[in-house]
Chains A and B, each alone.
Chain A
Amino acid sequence: MLGSAATITIAWAASFFISQVFIEHATVKSVSYSLGWLLAGGTAKALTIWLQEVMAVRATAAVKLELRKKFFEAVNRLGPGWVAKRSVAELNLLATVGLDSLDSYFAKYLPQVVYTALVTPAFVLIIWFSDFSSGLVLLLTLPLVPIFMILIGWATRSVQQKQLDALTSLSRHFLEVLRGLTTLKIFDRAKSQVEILTRVSEEHRVRTMKVLRLTFLSGFALELISSLAVALIAVSIGLRLLSGDITLAVGLFVLLLAPDAFLPLRQVGAQFHASADGVAASTGILDVIDGARAKRVAAATPHLPNFELGHFYAITGPSGAGKSTIFSNLLGLGDTAPVLSFDESAWMPQQNKLFAGTVVENIVGIGVPFDSTKLDLAIRRAALDDLDGLTLVGENGSSVSGGQAQRICAARAFYRSLNEKTKFLLLDEPISALDDERARVLVESLTLFAREGKAVVAISHQAAIISVADQVIEVGVV
């Protein structure tokens, strides 16, 4: 608002000065106060530009911070079962790039809409009162801007979507041939790919240009409307100046303000497209947040005994029979309510998940104070005898073998069981990657945990576990 007041001041001061010196033959000194106004207006305008830039980001950042937190809280409430059904990359994209695209929506588009709604009528009114016929021209041409914007938007929306798809498909094609280049070379197809790539790029260009010709048409129409309106106003002012209907000062003033009356509307149009991504992203994010509010009921888990403390259970069955689903239902990882809470259980998932950090950090958590006696015991029971605790484990366990990863994860569950005194110890295929000797040590530890009063439940198809369990539950066998 301050910005448009400044614009008006500048326009008025400049017009007044010019007409005084030129027509009224006033001395520069006698009207120099109007130049003071010009300077004041210019300074104020510069200041608002700076403020706008600073404020816009502050507001969005606060919104983003809150949304990101809510998003992850929702994802956590929805749980691993829900995440497993989605693509991790897609969720991550939503949480990062998706949220960032809100910037253009909150920081640019929304303020611009509000600003336009307030400022455009004010400009029209001022011009209207200064010069009726110029006001009329504006009033007739201004509505053309949104009308054209909407019409062209409709006409090009589907084409634009196609264009976007085409663009991503071209990049994807290029990425795809690079990714598979070795395979293509093996089958002697690398050379032909050069031709194909040329052809695809060319096809893409032709298609894209077709779309762009339409898309840029909207910009052309808007630009044409606003510059023709300015031309119309300039010529009509000129003609009326000839007959002395208006003064030069008013004429120049209106000429200077007219483009500014169009500017906000055009900017809304320009930012509308950028903000479309933001709207799509925010819908995706809000869907996740809303989705997390659904109530859940515990899943019915048939044929499952109550796991009693002090017992060792083995769950077995062919792959695909839903052994892991039992743990998932027990812990409420899917869309059902948990039977056991995380607090009373130590769970070792089938997939060995390791993080960048030391072996010890992978067992007790990063930055968590730990009890070294219990840690030693957990490490011993997990047969983790071939790794120093300070060995660095790469992201996703890239620097340890599959067996070592499995034993680190077992030690993690053991340590939790010892340290937090959880009642249930749930292990999903704990010895599938171990050699016979270490598998024996680990199974022995499981019986020990059971003897110490925990309910130990292990999913496994291996005899080493099935033969020593107190009770074997077979899944998927009729």
Chain B
Amino acid sequence: MFRSHRQNIRLGIPKDGLFKLGLLASVLQGLSAVALLGVSAWLISRAAEVNSIVYLGIAIVGVRGFAVGRATFRYLERILLHDSAFRMLAKRRPILFSRLVPFFPGGIAQLGRGETLSRVVSDVDELQNLPLRVIAPLLQAISISLASIVCVWLLLPSVGFLLCAAVLLGFLLAIPLSARSSRQSDTLISPLKAQLSDLSLNLIENQDVYLAYGWMPQKMDELRETDIRLRAAVSKTNTSTGIGLALLSLLATLAMLSGAWFGGLAVESGRLQGVWLAVLVLLPLAIFELIQNAQPAVSAYRRYSSSSGRVRELLEREIPDSLKITTGALTVRNFESIDLQSISVRYPGAEVDAVSGVNLRIEPGKKLLLSGESGSGKSSVALVLSRLMNAHSGLYLINGKPVEQFDFESVNKLIGLVEQNPTVFIGDVRANLLIAKPDASDPELMAILSRVGLWKMFESREGLDTQLGDRGVLISGGEAQRLALARALLANFQVLILDEPTANVDATQANRLMEDIFDILRDDQSRAIVLISHEGKYRSLVDLEIRLP
């Protein structure tokens, strides 16, 4: 367990000089804050004792210096720590990304524990909180407390001992108390919040049905009940946060009291010069302010640690054999035949094959329909064909030679897949097309768009600058499919696999879209087409149908 904590922490620590400088600034800031109060108290006490400014010179300089230092070091600390945290993130993000690449798409389901992509993203962002919200405040509080305890101990051991006890109690009692409240908030509040969010989403999404069928009042009641339970949970959590804070404040008072009592007695008996009494009494105020600042560090660490744990798991995950794509020495420009011979596909972590015994032959200019019920493994075959996944068993031959002997990139340029849900990236049409061919000119893009029947629509909007919106919300499912086809045509794949191109289109539009697609592709005599569809009705469009059981 400690090992895993150590590894989690290693993940989020920036390894540059900026970070160390930032921590130094943070410690100096704490020092200035405590020293400002200490030296001020000493200055005032000393002034009451003597009658010449000569005795105060250094203290006056110190007070001014620490006042400026407190603000300046704070500023430096924040700048340096943020900068180094961002640098650290800028390194981690690409590393994580390149580790994840082999898992797409065959291994995403296996990434684990209901991992969503947006969570991966926010988990990475969370890494910055280790240096900023955990290490810096804790280090500041601990180092300054220690330094103060040592100073006080040198003045008067008994008060030093009691201050040490109070600080320890603060760290061991009050801070864990607030950690408890953050744990409660994880176990009590987060599920209720998620439930509330689900309910409210459900209510908005299905509002028409709930209203039409008179079920709305019941749904509203459900929502309100959850809201009331959430309120109870929140108030319970806050009570323990409050207790933690109150305890810290009380400990500060007790430390002051002990300083006053024992310091006073020492002054009385002449063991301590009176001028130090104010320092002993007032110092705890400044120290406990720093400890209070460090209090959120525990809950911040909890959040950090679950995020970094997940990130680490992703980083350390082994690439399963089925996703390890090997590359060979041969390059392929043209193909005479592509054969799958008794191919089976098994997803990583699965016990059984998604599909097995697949035989098919692809030849230039031939159109093939791969059909079968949903779940029969058609898309898995497409993943193998497009080299996004390895077959579990069987032979995959290009021009009679095993595919592993060919350079991966040249195969990738030969065979292309138009996914069932093609990604439409945020941005304009141009950016979405250039993915397929970064050096394509605007006229080339316009020509390809006209070919797939999209140019008129985009021309009436803003041409190639037309924004497609988040996940392509600004275009229809059929238009997205045509755009994906345009991308594939730009890349000029010799083998084009179309995975259920009409899946996201109204039933009434599907036939037209499919006929259009085949119309568009009719001109290319040499290109081979593999159409994947659960509907047998498209067999009239192809040369051969292969039906998966």
- Which chain A residue has the least Cβ–Cβ distance from B64? A231
Q: Please determine whether A333 and B253 come into contact, CB atoms closer than 8 angstroms.
A: no
Q: Please determine whether B254 and A42 come into contact, CB atoms closer than 8 angstroms.
A: yes
**B409 interface residue per 8 A CB criterion:** yes
What does the 1/0 interface line of A342-362 toward B look like (CB < 8 Å)? 110111010001010000000
> Given the complex, which residues of B lie within 8 Å of A399, measured CB to CB?
none
Q: Which of B239, B249, B491 has the most CB of A within 10 A?
A: B249
CB distance from B166 to the nearest CB of A (A): 12
What does the 1/0 interface line of B244-266 toward A look like (CB < 8 Å)? 01110110111011001100110
Bound complex: CA A186 to CA B41 (Å): 70
- Which chain B residue has the least Cβ–Cβ distance from A213? B79
What does the 1/0 interface line of A40-56 toward B look like (CB < 8 Å)? 01110111011111101
**A309 interface residue per 8 A CB criterion:** no
CB distance from B303 to the nearest CB of A (A): 16
A-contacting residues, B264-301, CB 8 Å: 264-265, 267-268, 274-275, 277-278, 281-282, 285
Q: Please determine whether B60 and A176 come into contact, CB atoms closer than 8 angstroms.
A: no
Q: Which of A185, A333, A366 has the most CB of B within 10 A?
A: A185
- Which chain A residue has the least Cβ–Cβ distance from B267? A21
Q: Please determine whether A187 and B212 come into contact, CB atoms closer than 8 angstroms.
A: no
Pick from A57, A186, A242, A251: contact of B238, CB below 8 A.
A57
- Given contacts A49-B246, A224-B68, A256-B282, is CB(A83)–CB(B207) below 8 Å? yes
- Which chain A residue has the least Cβ–Cβ distance from B230? A61
B-contacting residues, A303-349, CB 8 Å: 319, 331, 333, 342-343, 345-347, 349
**A230 interface residue per 8 A CB criterion:** yes
Main secondary structure of the interface of A (DSSP, over half): helix
Pick from A21, A27, A366: contact of B274, CB below 8 A.
A21
> Given the complex, which residues of A lie within 8 Å of B228, measured CB to CB?
65
Bound complex: CA A333 to CA B209 (Å): 11
- Which chain B residue has the least Cβ–Cβ distance from A56? B238
Q: Please determine whether B43 and A35 come into contact, CB atoms closer than 8 angstroms.
A: no
Bound complex: CA A122 to CA B389 (Å): 73
Q: Please determine whether A17 and B260 come into contact, CB atoms closer than 8 angstroms.
A: yes
**What number of A residues sit within 8 Å (CB to CB) of B?**
126
Q: Which of A174, A188, A201, A365 has the most CB of B within 10 A?
A: A174
Q: Please determine whether B250 and A212 come into contact, CB atoms closer than 8 angstroms.
A: no
> Given the complex, which residues of A lie within 8 Å of B212, measured CB to CB?
331, 342, 345-347, 349
> Given the complex, which residues of B lie within 8 Å of A298, measured CB to CB?
none
Pick from B70, B86, B203, B267: contact of A208, CB below 8 A.
B86
Q: Please determine whether B277 and A18 come into contact, CB atoms closer than 8 angstroms.
A: yes
- Given contacts A21-B274, A188-B413, is CB(A43)–CB(B250) below 8 Å? yes
> Given the complex, which residues of B lie within 8 Å of A180, measured CB to CB?
423, 425
> Given the complex, which residues of A lie within 8 Å of B250, measured CB to CB?
42-43, 46
**A22 interface residue per 8 A CB criterion:** yes
Pick from B48, B59, B104: contact of A19, CB below 8 A.
B48
> Given the complex, which residues of A lie within 8 Å of B82, measured CB to CB?
208-209, 212
Bound complex: CA A217 to CA B209 (Å): 53
What does the 1/0 interface line of B453-494 toward A look like (CB < 8 Å)? 000000000000000000100000000000000010001000
- Given contacts A22-B274, A241-B44, A248-B44, is CB(A54)–CB(B239) below 8 Å? yes
Q: Please determine whether B202 and A355 come into contact, CB atoms closer than 8 angstroms.
A: yes
> Given the complex, which residues of A lie within 8 Å of B539, measured CB to CB?
none
Bound complex: CA A176 to CA B432 (Å): 12
> Given the complex, which residues of B lie within 8 Å of A65, measured CB to CB?
224, 227-228, 231
Of B90-98, B146-154, B342-350, B442-450, the one contacting chain A is B90-98
Bound complex: CA A402 to CA B413 (Å): 36
Q: Please determine whether A187 and B214 come into contact, CB atoms closer than 8 angstroms.
A: no
- Given contacts A234-B44, A235-B63, is CB(A72)–CB(B74) below 8 Å? no
CB distance from A371 to the nearest CB of B (A): 15
A-contacting residues, B387-438, CB 8 Å: 388, 409, 412-413, 416-417, 419, 422-423, 425-426, 435-436
- Which chain B residue has the least Cβ–Cβ distance from A202? B90
**B200 interface residue per 8 A CB criterion:** yes
Q: Please determine whether B86 and A349 come into contact, CB atoms closer than 8 angstroms.
A: no
> Given the complex, which residues of A lie within 8 Å of B206, measured CB to CB?
353, 355
What does the 1/0 interface line of B98-125 toward A look like (CB < 8 Å)? 1011001100000000000110111011
Q: Could you name 27 residue pairs across A and B whose Cβ atoms are closer than 8 Å?
A: A18-B260, A22-B48, A42-B252, A46-B246, A54-B235, A57-B235, A57-B238, A61-B234, A80-B207, A89-B201, A92-B201, A96-B197, A183-B422, A185-B388, A187-B436, A197-B93, A198-B94, A205-B83, A205-B87, A227-B68, A228-B68, A239-B53, A242-B52, A355-B202, A366-B218, A367-B218, A420-B214
Closest A-B pairs by Cβ, 3 of them:
A42-B253, A53-B242, A180-B423
Q: Which B residues have a C-beta under 8 Å from some C-beta of A?
A: 36, 40-41, 43-53, 56, 59-60, 63-64, 66-68, 70-72, 74-75, 78-79, 82-83, 86-87, 89-91, 93-94, 97-98, 100-101, 104-105, 117-118, 120-122, 124-125, 193, 196-197, 200-209, 211-216, 218, 220, 223-224, 227-228, 231, 234-235, 238-239, 241-243, 245-247, 249-250, 252-254, 256-257, 260-261, 264-265, 267-268, 274-275, 277-278, 281-282, 285, 386, 388, 409, 412-413, 416-417, 419, 422-423, 425-426, 435-436, 471, 487, 491, 506-509
